[in-house]
Amino acid sequence: MILEVTEEEMQLIENFRKKRKDEEAFNICLEKYGKAIRSLKEVVINLKDFLKNDEFYDEFGKKYDEDIYKDFVDIVRCLD
């Protein structure tokens, strides 16, 4: 079975596909932003421990600092 598609219909299909890709990219960016914000919230919650205990900061920093940085880099790239 062969379906004939007009140029106008093809444009609508292409626009729909592009919009869907844009929405998927936005959702991925939003997910990364949420992850980064949760990590920063963890920093704020543990602020007293940071101020009192250098070892705690070192361990926490190893666990989160690089991940937070990478998440924000990804977010900025998504927004370009």
Q: What is the pLDDT of residues 44-66, one digit of tens each?
A: 777 777 667 777 667 766 776 67
Contact 31, 38 (CB under 8 A): no
User: 23: burial class by Cβ within 10 Å (0-12, 13-18, 19+)?
Assistant: exposed
Pick 39 or 57 by higher pLDDT.
39
Contact 78, 28 (CB under 8 A): yes
3-state secondary structure of 73: helix
Contact 36, 71 (CB under 8 A): yes
Query: What's the average model confidence in pLDDT over 15-42?
Result: 82
User: Which pLDDT value is given to residue 3?
Assistant: 67
Whether pTM exceeds 0.85: no
